Chains A and B, each alone.
Chain A
């Protein structure tokens, strides 16, 4: 049966690579994920006939675990809302990392059990032992780190420090983990293995907690790449080519994706991991003078209906309020009044690059009305009204002007160059990253406070009655 198993793995690896290739174009993306799905089912089914999988007890356990884990994930994945997609990806990714970590634990425990007076390294072979340990650290860090990322994006965890001198604790934990790994490597007992995994899990938590919520998508993408790498290492430990190839392909693709995302936010990966800009929200305080000027939704609607050119900048808050359908209704009404309407999307609008495009697509907004930052930034100067709904940091002029601002240097939409700016906002607080937005205090800015869904509904009523 071994040739059948190996052949299935080979076919699965081919399907994964071509599936991933197809997924990088909108036209073929859907076929791509289906091919990869076929590969996954094939590889999983074939593994039941793997020569080292034996014993009725273990096979029963395998089927039970697949049923429970798969069933739970299917149920949650079907129910999750599109706005919560990024944190759900973080969770599933963390589970994969945890699985890789657990495989490392089993392999190391087996190695330790088989030793008779020698060490884990001598029993398993030093190359296998090193990769088992590396995969164990990476998988554990990806697991606990992804769970923290989920909690942050879900706004269950707001803390950004656990201890004082956080960076030193991180370094200390990393050193302790490395020393424990050496201990495991050189001895043959189970106790250091337990300590080693505890330290690795704690490391993941300590690394992730100080990172600001706005940087989280990049971190999730990084953990995604790391999990891929850990899976590749496990493939070597288990002598399994399907794992080596799929894991390494994802590791490399994920790294590239992480770099692309970080570039879109004008942040370097080292900067995100080691500075923790969410930790110092008070840096630029409310130094900006002036006051916010408030108008009602109806006044805002009049401004837009009598304008020639309107640009709408949607953000995550729009999606949270489920207002995208109402917004599209308003846009259609404005078009009847001969207003030229465009949507401007920042590369990191929503919680991840491309997230906002998904949400607007859901509401039925055609593609040709949606513009990237680079395409539209020149046009703000001749625009009568910019309507900002639920976006904050990506339109903050401080990123362009105030060198002391934590977000200085991030590319933004230059909405402040427009004649009028309307900001729909739930409350007066700062944005997701905790940075004060100087745009709100400008002379040409008017604030409309309220729930996005209700505000837009009132605007629709106003435009209809004109």
Chain B
């Protein structure tokens, strides 16, 4: 396993925050809702963490909570994706009619 600790993690946090900020600095208002939905989808990656947590669970209580974690995380990822895709699909078709 790769150890991510202390100061290295601090650098990763900082660089990722800068990336997140820079990436959407110039976004038109029309895309605010889809973009919020899209970023909502991306933090659905929490499902991966939930899988690891359930994977190492030992007592029934830990397993039960871990199960809920995976369930919620998977719902976040799938729901976020479908909703974003549906919104953006519409933008595409309206663009076509426009020009």
Contacts and interface: CB of A to CB of B under 8 A. Distances in A.
Interface in A80-113: 80, 82, 85-86, 88-89, 91-93, 95-96, 98-100, 102-103, 105-107, 109-110, 113
Given A26-B91, A50-B55, A367-B98, A69 B71 contact: yes
A92 B80 contact: yes
Contact of A257 (B24, B47, B53): B24
Contacts of A362: 90, 94
A256 interface: yes
A253 B20 contact: yes
A429 interface: no
Interface residues of A, number: 123
A37 B86 CA distance: 13
A173 to B, nearest CB: 23
B67 A240 contact: no
Contact of A355 (B2, B33, B41): B33
Given A85-B87, A99-B47, A357-B30, A106 B69 contact: yes
A367 B93 CA distance: 11
Given A93-B40, A250-B43, A106 B57 contact: yes
A352 to B, nearest CB: 5
B41 to A, nearest CB: 6
A59 interface: yes
B67 to A, nearest CB: 5
A232 B13 contact: yes
A227 interface: yes
B74 A66 contact: yes
A23 B91 CA distance: 12
B76 A248 contact: no
A261 interface: yes
Contact of A68 (B34, B63, B71): B71
Contact of A99 (B39, B42, B46, B84): B46
Q: Is the interface of A mostly helix, strand, loop or mixed?
A: helix
A353 interface: yes
Contacts of A91: 79
A241 B55 contact: no
A409 B28 CA distance: 23
Interface stretch (A70-78, A199-207, A283-291, A413-421): A70-78
Contacts of B66: 58, 61, 102-103, 106
Contact of A61 (B67, B75, B79): B67
Contact of A62 (B28, B70, B75): B70
A125 B90 CA distance: 49
Contacts of A255: 21
Given A50-B55, A227-B43, A358-B91, A102 B50 contact: yes
A249 B95 contact: no
Contacts of A16: 42, 45
Interface residues of B, number: 88
B38 A88 contact: no
A463 B66 CA distance: 62
Given A65-B67, A353-B33, A92 B40 contact: yes
Contacts of A254: 20, 36, 39
Nearest to A246: B45
A241 to B, nearest CB: 6
A220 interface: yes
| Residue from B5, B19, B53 with most neighbouring chain A CB atoms (10 Å) | B53
Interface stretch (A28-36, A387-395, A446-454): A28-36
Contact of B29 (A23, A53, A354): A354
A238 B39 CA distance: 22
B62 A106 contact: yes
A134 interface: no
Contact of B94 (A96, A228, A246, A364): A364
Contacts of B45: 12, 16, 40, 43, 231, 242-243, 246-247
A106 B4 contact: no
A213 interface: no
Interface in A182-221: 190, 220-221
B46 A103 contact: yes
A93 B76 contact: yes
A52 interface: yes
B87 A95 contact: no
B31 A354 contact: yes
A303 interface: no
A383 interface: no
Nearest to B63: A61
24 contacts: A17-B19, A19-B38, A29-B91, A44-B51, A58-B57, A69-B71, A73-B79, A77-B79, A85-B33, A92-B76, A99-B50, A106-B62, A228-B42, A232-B13, A238-B52, A238-B53, A245-B12, A247-B46, A253-B23, A354-B31, A358-B90, A365-B94, A366-B94, A368-B98
Given A29-B38, A102-B65, 13 more contacts: A25-B31, A33-B85, A62-B54, A73-B79, A92-B41, A106-B65, A110-B57, A224-B40, A241-B2, A243-B46, A352-B33, A352-B36, A358-B91
